[in-house]
Amino acid sequence: MQDAGQMKNPGVFGAIGQSRGAAVFAQSLVACAGLAVLTYAGFVLQVNLTTISFLYLLLVIAMALFCGFWQASVTSLLAVGCLDYFFTQPILHFYMTDLKEWVALGAFQITAVVISRLSAKELRSTKEAAVHRAGMEQLYELSRNSLLLDLRQAPGPQLVLLIHRIFGTTAVALFDLSLGRQDRAGEWDEGEENLARECYLEENATDDPQTETWRRVLLAGPGPVGALVVRGKLSPLVMDALASLAAIAIDRHQSFENEERAETASKGEQLRAAVMDALAHEFKTPLTAVQTASSGLLELGGLTESQTDLVTLIDDEAVRLNELCTRLLLTAKLDAGQVGLETDEVNVQELVSEVLESQHVLAIRGRVQVVMEDPSLAVRVDRALLAMILAQYIDNARKYSAPDTKIEIAVRKSHTEVLISVHNFGSTIRLEDRERVFDRFYRSPDMKDSIPGTGIGLSVVRKAADAHHGHVWVISDDKEGTTFFLSLPIGARRKP
């Protein structure tokens, strides 16, 4: 391909040279004609030397301004010759001995140089301004069209077509890191199929003016998001702007996809909460009937020891299922923000005692130690929700603590909050699981097969704490044991 280009270039440059030569020749003829008219009129009318010199100077200025240096130089030489031959003594003879003639020649040449240079500079500035304006118009059109991209589709195919069409480039290639794809438009040579991908991998952002190939690594946010390679007549500044627009388009597509995923997850969460709410409501009625029947049988008496054990088991499990349904209902309402907090001043010591008197906690009552710095401490909360949090913490300590070890409930107060903790010795929670245990349905891989559970309780605890503007967390290690914390602001209130 390069050999073919080298064979074509001499013909192209020859044609350009011939056209320029013809233009210079035509402009020189115009200068000669102008000199002839001025000389004839001045000679016939007997115009003095000063006047005809000024007219010749105007002609030199006109040629320098509109034609160029060489045309103006030819005109100045011819003008000095005409001055010497027709207007200085001896007339009709070339005899350049007078200093004025040399001064005139110097003045004409200096004028030709200065005016032609100023004219060329102004013309170059005008062309550069026109190119810059055209580039800005193209960039504006690209930026406007990039805002109309279909974000549901990959941005690469759309961008390369826009750049190729708007800027009239030979070829465009774009590599999108997030999608792992490369898109191309225009004519690329063999072996250049992965030019944009290679530009990203090698971080090769060098330009090649000879082949008019421009490379840029696309940057957005913390790091690169792809690469752009364009072949065509562009300036480095325009290429930088193209790279920025491409990076912004890729970043917008990624943000849109993240929003789509978040919205889908949110809808799935809402559906799951609705299903749980419906199931919990449906389970409540038969569970109530089972619990009523089992309690009735125990009250009636007359059962054998085995029958009593079985009915007691049924009654206990019915109570447990009923509590589980209550938590499911509460979870669904907390997720939907439909829980209306019935806040009141609650004495924490009294509430802890009530929770410890509940049926499923009585079995470990002897192992529980309560530490209260202030027995009169009260906090403004929803009593039922705080009781549920305490019950869940104590139940977790019961299930995961070592047999015959102490479970400590501590309540402390600072200037801004009340801190409640439940501590036990037993199985520990890995560092990477300490946040996730509060996610719904999540259970630590170390314990999920050995200890029964649903993974619902702690998620409800966090939701209830959030409703009070509180916070929950856990610390755990082999030496110190495991401690679950709940912090509640003084005078906790419902979220707006």
Give tens-digit pLDDT for 69-80. Answer: 777 777 777 777
The domain 140-261: what is its CATH number? Answer: 3.30.450.40
DSSP string, 45-66: HT--HHHHHHHHHHHHHHHHHH
Please determine, for residue 322, whether its predicted confidence score (pLDDT) is greater than 50.
yes
DSSP for residue 90: S
Please determine, for residue 386, whether its predicted confidence score (pLDDT) is greater than 80.
yes
Q: Which ranges in 337-431 belong to alpha helices (H)?
A: 348-357, 359-362, 383-400
The position carrying tokens 């998001």 is 225
Residue 176's H or E segment, with its range, is strand 171-176
| pLDDT score recorded for residue 422 | 93
Task: Please give the share of the chain, as a percent, with pLDDT higher than 90.
Answer: 9
390: amino acid identity, one letter: L
pLDDT in tens, 35-50: 788 777 877 777 776 7
Residue 175's H or E segment, with its range, is strand 171-176
| pLDDT score recorded for residue 14 | 46
Please determine, for residue 7, whether its predicted confidence score (pLDDT) is greater than 50.
no
Rounded-to-integer distance, Cα 350 and Cα 344, Å: 14
Please determine, for residue 246, whether its predicted confidence score (pLDDT) is greater than 80.
yes
Q: Which range among 14-28, 93-107, 259-273, 422-436 shows the weakest confidence by mean pLDDT?
A: 14-28
Both tokens of residue 200?
Answer: 């990203």
Rounded-to-integer distance, Cα 41 and Cα 480, Å: 116
Q: Which CATH number fits domain 341-489: 3.40.50.261, 1.20.810.10, 3.30.565.10, 3.40.50.410?
A: 3.30.565.10
Query: How far, CA to CA in Å, does 363 sit from each of 299, 310, 369, 490?
Result: 22, 18, 14, 33
Domain boundaries, the chain: 2-138, 140-261, 263-334, 341-489
Q: Which range among 84-88, 145-149, 203-207, 303-307 shows the weakest confidence by mean pLDDT?
A: 84-88
Greatest CA span in the chain, whole angstroms? 158
| pLDDT score recorded for residue 331 | 63
Which one, of 243, 149, 229, lies nearest residue 193 by Cα? 229
Rounded-to-integer distance, Cα 368 and Cα 401, Å: 12
Q: How far out from the chain centre does Cα 119 lie?
A: 48
Please determine, for residue 260, whether its predicted confidence score (pLDDT) is greater than 90.
no
**Stretch 333-344: mean pLDDT:** 63
The Cβ of residue 84 has, within 10 Å, a number of other Cβ atoms equal to 22
What average pLDDT does the structure give for the chain? 78
Q: Which range among 36-50, 273-287, 381-395 shows the weakest confidence by mean pLDDT?
A: 273-287
DSSP for residue 432: G
**Contact 250/176 with Cβ under 8 angstroms?**
yes
**Stretch 16-25: mean pLDDT:** 60
Rounded-to-integer distance, Cα 81 and Cα 33, Å: 15
**Contact 53/83 with Cβ under 8 angstroms?**
yes
| pLDDT score recorded for residue 340 | 59
β-strand 378-382 against 368-372: which pairing, if any?
unpaired
**Contact 456/438 with Cβ under 8 angstroms?**
no
Please determine, for residue 3, whether its predicted confidence score (pLDDT) is greater than 50.
no
How far the first Cα of the chain sits from its last, in Å, is 71
Based on its alpha-carbon atoms, the radius of gyration of the chain, rounded to whole angstroms, reads 46
The 3-state DSSP class for residue 423 equals: strand
pTM score > 0.75 for this model? no
